[in-house]
Structure 1
Amino acid sequence: MACIERASPALKQILLKFYSVEKPMEIDHHLYEFGSVQYHIQSQASNPLVAYLSISTPSLCHGVLQNELSSYTIETVKRLCPEIVEIVEPAREGYQLTLRLNLNQIPRGKDYVKVIRDISTVQSVILSSQLKEILWNVKSNVTMQGMYKPIKLVYHAREPFFIIIEPQRIIAVFPIRFKEKSELIIATTFFQELMDVGSSDKWAKAPSCNWSAIPPPELRGETLEDLSTNGGFVTFDISSRHIEGKRLDKTVWNLLNFNAYVRYHVKSTKGYIQRRMRKRLENLVQVLHHTNSEANEQTKQHQAAGYRHAKKQLRSSKYNIMKQRWGNFGRKIKTHFRLRIHGFGRFRQRWLRFPKFSSKGYAKLE
């Protein structure tokens, strides 16, 4: 996904680190960014206050602009930081532009961060200058049925868009493609909301927006590969007042980053939905866990009460059984094993008498 910021984050970080280092250091670093952009940063320890930055970026429109940078683009780059940035000619082999950075001219204090950020915007300056030249100088050829021929612009190989330049307006068409169905649903909803908001009175001065699942008539005759999308086509109708004065730079940058903005919005919305669903799931799990804990506690109490009752019943039944058995056994003994001796009562009264002892004292036996 393209970076919506004009300054390259990786290039800015390297330049800040290189500028803030206390000891002289030698660097030879390569960077690769969105849109097949390449950076090469080089400096020598013998001269640490000078760095060379080489840039290679593909042409925004093949067949309309040359691969070499135009004089307008070079002059625009020179105006970035004229006291710090110098263009080296010829550029290093394999690159379109080489800049000489005089780091000793960067002011100390808080201003150096702003200066390095401006230097890091060199690639966005090149792309914006190319699109401005197209809007100013390129005249579309009239084709069949009086329609103007679209100009295909490639900021990224998988995300081309089209510009149709007419005498009174400019039409920008963006084919939308997504891999995941969930992202496609979010993007479709976003485009519908964008059309509703754009048609309101509050945004009457903004370019009108339209979304359609089928290609617009302006793209008639384009290749099937460019018209094969699953997210439809978003069309902006840009009038002449949107490319006048300072509005031109803003319009150009918005066109270059529309695809990036849509993907950023879809990813952010998808992440927000996932976080809400995850939080909702955690709350449901807590409720279910609390409910299960109470149910388990009640089950344990019922089981314990049932166990005590069963144990009591078991003891009672065992006692009754043993009592019944011993009662039957005693009755059998009484019935079958009791012996009677005639005259034993008189014999016991006469002969089985225990002697009586006096409690007053006793006589010592000698």
Structure 2
Amino acid sequence: MILLQSPSRFLLQILKDRVVSGDKGVDIDCHTVEFDDVRYHIQFSMRNPKVMVLSVALPLAPPEAILHDGLPLGAIDAIKAAYGAVVQILDPPKDCFDVTMKINLTKLPTDEEQRNVVLTRIASVREVVLGAPLKLLLRHLASKTVAPNVDKLVALVHRPNESFFLAPQADKVTVVYPMRFQDSIDIVLATSFLQEFVEARRTAALNNAPSCMWSPVPPLELKGVNADALDANAGFVTFVVFPRHVEGRKLDKTVWSLLTFHAYVSYHVKCSEGFMHTRMRRRVESLIQQALDRAKSDAEKLKKLVHGGSFRRLSMKHEGNSNH
């Protein structure tokens, strides 16, 4: 199984190319989409080649999701903490976007290794913004406390018009995903994948991983949630995260893994579907080749039969003798 990477490779490559090219670059005005739900608008102008304007459009939030000024809870503070003086938040953001940032490349560290760390962090803006409320709750879990002024059940933006839910407690945080897929084949594959995923968690090698459960019906933690938010055709996946899972550097990894869980499942579902299609194509090609080989063999046998037969030509003398 593959784990998705936090930084956007496209965005990171543009940043690195611009740093290397310096004043010799060209104007850039492009759009890109990540995981079908986060859209970026990247702008560079040679009139000011050391400044990049990055606009981010987040997934459309469902009614139950917690937002603050149109952004996930704590997103602005998370951006400031992650990027410092390198990034300036523009208010208001560009039309059709949720946040617009002005990135000053002159304020990047001079050391190449440190500079690459900062660029990678900028390319991970999805994690910084969407993961802000999740990190806030899990950071309190690390200290075995509950974030103040937080409901017993918190809905966070997961995908367009979809939420996942957290039930924070001092000693654990329960995370529940209603799994939805549009394609009927994807539903079947995802359901099978998730059931196997839960079984794999029970192996001895994964004893330290968060416990995982799958259910075709909403778990008790979602009691009282709006029915529209519980419309899941591939069941519900529940993770129980304990303080040991968010200690130190584990926090960022746990946040990213939880934030992209649906994309992780979708990726493997599509890979499975592609693998099966490839196997079926190979099987059909093999059957066709066998039929062609069989037809060729039959044709060769018929040809040998026709050309291999012997016929004796009778002369006039033989014909006369035969009449006597």
> Same fold, TM exceeding 0.5?
yes
User: Alignment partner of 1:48: what SS?
Assistant: coil
User: Alignment partner of 1:47: what SS?
Assistant: coil
CA distance in 1, matches of 2:71, 2:237: 30
User: Alignment partner of 1:132: what SS?
Assistant: helix
Equivalent residues in 2 for 1:1-366 (5 A)?
A: 4-21=4-21, 23=24, 25-34=26-35, 37-57=38-58, 64-67=66-69, 73-82=75-84, 85-88=86-89, 90-94=91-95, 96-106=98-108, 107=110, 114-135=117-138, 136=140, 137=147, 141=151, 148=152, 150-157=153-160, 159-305=162-308, 308-309=310-311, 312=312, 323=320
- CA root-mean-square deviation: 3.6
CA distance in 2, matches of 1:320, 1:170: 110
Asked if the contact 1:81–1:119 (Cα under 8 Å) also holds between the matched residues in 2, the reply is: yes
Q: 1:279-301, CA deviations, whole angstroms, 9 ceiling, x for partnerless residues?
A: 33333433333333222211221
Q: 1:44-98, CA deviations, whole angstroms, 9 ceiling, x for partnerless residues?
A: 4333223333434368785633126689544543444546x13245454545544
- Number of equivalent positions: 311
CA distance in 2, matches of 1:111, 1:166: 37
Per the alignment, do residues 155 and 26 of structure 1 end up closer, same or farther by CA in structure 2, a change over 3 Å counting? Answer: same
Asked if the contact 2:90–2:102 (Cα under 8 Å) also holds between the matched residues in 1, the reply is: no
Asked if the contact 2:59–2:160 (Cα under 8 Å) also holds between the matched residues in 1, the reply is: no
Per the alignment, do residues 191 and 139 of structure 1 end up closer, same or farther by CA in structure 2, a change over 3 Å counting? Answer: farther
From the CA coordinates, give the structure whose radius of gyration is larger: 1
CA distance in 2, matches of 1:56, 1:289: 54
Q: 1:196-249, CA deviations, whole angstroms, 9 ceiling, x for partnerless residues?
A: 222233222211111122222222333333333321111112223323333222
Structure 1 residue identity aligned to 2:58: T
User: Alignment partner of 2:295: what SS?
Assistant: helix
With normalisation by structure 1, the TM-score equals 0.70
Higher relative contact order (CA 8 A, sep 6+): 2
CA distance in 1, matches of 2:255, 2:304: 73
CA distance in 1, matches of 2:84, 2:4: 25
CA distance in 2, matches of 1:249, 1:101: 23
- CA positional deviation for 1:184: 3.0
Asked if the contact 1:59–1:67 (Cα under 8 Å) also holds between the matched residues in 2, the reply is: no
Q: 1:302-325, CA deviations, whole angstroms, 9 ceiling, x for partnerless residues?
A: 23345x54xx4xx65x97997499
Asked if the contact 2:50–2:104 (Cα under 8 Å) also holds between the matched residues in 1, the reply is: yes
Asked if the contact 2:73–2:133 (Cα under 8 Å) also holds between the matched residues in 1, the reply is: no
CA distance in 1, matches of 2:294, 2:212: 52
1:354 alignment partner in structure 2? none
CA distance in 2, matches of 1:198, 1:37: 30
Asked if the contact 2:65–2:156 (Cα under 8 Å) also holds between the matched residues in 1, the reply is: no
CA distance in 1, matches of 2:41, 2:303: 72
Q: 1:134-153, CA deviations, whole angstroms, 9 ceiling, x for partnerless residues?
A: 45426665xxxxxx5x3322
Unpaired runs of 5+ residues, structure 2, are 141-146
Per the alignment, do residues 122 and 8 of structure 1 end up closer, same or farther by CA in structure 2, a change over 3 Å counting? Answer: same
Structure 2 residue identity aligned to 1:103: L
CA distance in 2, matches of 1:88, 1:257: 25
CA distance in 1, matches of 2:245, 2:112: 38
Per the alignment, do residues 303 and 37 of structure 1 end up closer, same or farther by CA in structure 2, a change over 3 Å counting? Answer: same
Per the alignment, do residues 12 and 152 of structure 1 end up closer, same or farther by CA in structure 2, a change over 3 Å counting? Answer: same
CA distance in 1, matches of 2:220, 2:317: 100
